[in-house]
């Protein structure tokens, strides 16, 4: 099996999607077999991370990112983080990092915010929302004042995903423009609903009251009123 695995990694170093996927099956089998065996899984992780830092083609690195999403640990975060500024591979690196429970994965995504722009930064923001970490509230709050409306909208929705009182307060401090006003209101409403679902009626009620004081649209007013009634039990 070791010989087959070595051959599979040799094939991976030059792999593209036009080749027979059976070439990589020993890697798939080894990942499954390594469940519960930390030394073997660590060895596989190391070999996959090494592919990311090599001159292997795009398809090979994309494959490695997919597998590191399954078995990745803090050890593979540096290799994945190095790809976050790569226009072609940033998405796959985020794909691996956003579900990784290690705090280092979130740190890597937050660090990358200042290194990228446009769609790459919006992708990073979205991944931070998926992770839902308290450490992301501060960086996302700063982005609510960004000149780019798409960035502001993404940051607002990411804060809604985090859905904590701190996230709600961050949204409350936003100064929306015509292009971002709807997103800020929708995100605030979503955050309040998450707080209510979590049983934090005090924080949810505070958010609903704020929304009603901001001359909201009819839909937001109705939703906020309904939310207030749910908070007060009326």
d(CA 223, CA 190): 10
Check: CB of residue 153 under 8 Å from CB of residue 185. Answer: no
Evaluate if residue 178 carries a pLDDT over 90: yes
Q: Sorting pLDDT into bands at 50, 70 and 90, what band is 152?
A: very high
User: What does the pLDDT look like over 77-99, one tens digit per residue?
Assistant: 999 999 999 999 999 999 999 99
User: What does the pLDDT look like over 127-142, one tens digit per residue?
Assistant: 999 999 999 999 999 9
Percent of the residues in the chain that have a pLDDT greater than 70, as a whole number: 99
Question: How are the residues of the chain apportioned to helix, strand and coil, as percentages rounded to the nearest 5?
Answer: 75, 0, 25
Burial class of 34 by CB neighbour count within 10 A (0 to 12, 13 to 18, 19+): middle
Name the pTM for this structure.
Answer: 0.91
User: What does the pLDDT look like over 33-42, one tens digit per residue?
Assistant: 999 999 999 9
DSSP 8-state assignment for residue 164: S
Evaluate if residue 234 carries a pLDDT over 70: no
Query: How would DSSP label each residue in 166-214?
Result: HHHHHHHT----TTTHHHHHHHHHHHHHHHHHTT-HHHHHHHHHHHHHT
């Amino acid at each position: 099996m070791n010989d087959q695995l070595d051959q599979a990694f040799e094939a991976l170093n030059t792999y593209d999607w036009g080749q027979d996927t059976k070439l990589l099956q020993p890697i798939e089998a080894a990942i499954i077999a390594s469940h519960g065996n930390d030394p073997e899984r660590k060895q596989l992780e190391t070999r996959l991370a090494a592919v990311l830092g090599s001159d292997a083609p795009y398809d090979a690195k994309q494959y490695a990112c997919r597998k590191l999403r399954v078995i990745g640990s803090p050890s593979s975060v540096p290799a994945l983080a190095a790809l976050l500024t790569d226009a072609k591979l940033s998405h796959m690196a985020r794909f691996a990092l956003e579900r990784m429970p290690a705090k280092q994965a979130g740190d890597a995504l937050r660090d990358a915010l200042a290194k990228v722009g446009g769609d790459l930064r919006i992708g990073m923001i979205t991944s931070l929302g998926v992770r839902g970490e308290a450490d992301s509230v501060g960086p996302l709050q700063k982005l609510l004042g960004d000149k780019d409306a798409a960035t502001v909208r993404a940051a607002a929705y990411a804060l809604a995903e985090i859905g904590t009182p701190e996230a709600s307060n961050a949204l409350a401090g936003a100064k929306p423009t015509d292009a971002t006003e709807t997103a800020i209101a929708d995100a605030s409403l979503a955050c309040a609903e998450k707080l209510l679902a979590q049983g934090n009626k005090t924080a949810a009620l505070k958010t609903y009251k704020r929304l009603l004081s901001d001359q909201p649209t009819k839909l937001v007013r109705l939703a906020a009123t309904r939310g207030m009634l749910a908070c007060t039990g009326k």
